[in-house]
Amino acid sequence: MERSRRLCWGVDVSGFSALAVPDQERTVRQLRAITEPIRRALAVGDREPLWQTTGDGELVVLPTGTDEPEAVAAVLGRFASALAGVTPRLRVRLALDQGIVHDTAGGLVADAINRMRRMLDSAELHAVLDDDPAADLAVAVSDEIHQSVVKQGYPAVPGRFRPARVIDSRHGAEIDVWMCGLPERGNPRLVTDPGAFGALQSFDVD
């Protein structure tokens, strides 16, 4: 069993379960056509990202030695750019976190992966797409990634993030996260200088 600190991202397709089976198959192909080039671009030397399918999405764990600011910028920027050219339209939710990942015979295991799943399932991340029909991509990043990457102003990291607190009452978990929608046209919920987490409404995982 290998374990090391890694940057991870997960993606889910919005509205997937409501699609007819042929449309689900087409959507999976569309998503794979977007994610495969991104994964290849984020290899470090001969070390490829680890990944697994999640039915209506993917889970990806980047290699050790990944340049985190460049990787965050690449994932967000490439996803937003690729989605703009997809027909029929594809809308997705994307979450990023980091932590110790265990690569086991049964699959990838990590607290960061559990947090990502909570972000992806949260009502608030769903609301990013619901509230802005122009957005193709709803993004959530952990507070750690926001503090160490987004807030530092590294170039090419798109999006104006706002804070939220995701509560998973079933498992007694709370996560401070930052969210945005891309592209950003006409979304009044996005702010450049959001306030502290303590002043925010909290949102439970569905």
Checking if the pLDDT of 155 tops 70, the result is yes
Residue 169's SS3 state is coil
Confidence of residue 106 (pLDDT cuts 50, 70, 90): confident
Confidence of residue 185 (pLDDT cuts 50, 70, 90): low
Distance CA 85, CA 166 (A): 31
Checking if the pLDDT of 78 tops 80, the result is yes
Residue 130's SS3 state is helix
Q: CATH number of the domain at 16, please.
A: 3.30.70.1230
Confidence of residue 156 (pLDDT cuts 50, 70, 90): confident
Predicted pLDDT of residue 141 = 97
Confidence of residue 177 (pLDDT cuts 50, 70, 90): very high
Query: For the residues 126-151, what does the mean pLDDT come to?
Result: 95
Predicted pLDDT of residue 1 = 61
Q: How many domains, the chain?
A: 1
Query: For the residues 69-89, what does the mean pLDDT come to?
Result: 93
Q: Is the pTM of this model over 0.85?
A: yes
Q: What is the DSSP track for 17-52? A: GGS-HHHHHHHHHHHHHHHHHHHHHT-BTTBPPEEE
Tokens standing for 48? 């490829």
Residue 131's SS3 state is helix
Q: Which one-letter amino acid corresponds to residue 110?
A: A
Least confident of 47-51, 86-90, 189-193: 189-193
Tokens standing for 146? 């926001």
Predicted pLDDT of residue 105 = 83
H or E stretch at 103:
strand 92-104
Least confident of 1-5, 50-54, 88-92: 1-5
Range of the domain at 13: 2-204
The pLDDT tens digits for 14-33 are 999 999 999 999 999 999 99
Predicted pLDDT of residue 172 = 83
Q: What is the 3-state secondary structure (H, E, C) of 139-155?
A: EEEEHHHHHHHHCCCCC
Say how many CA atoms lie within 13 Å of 39 toward its Cβ: 20
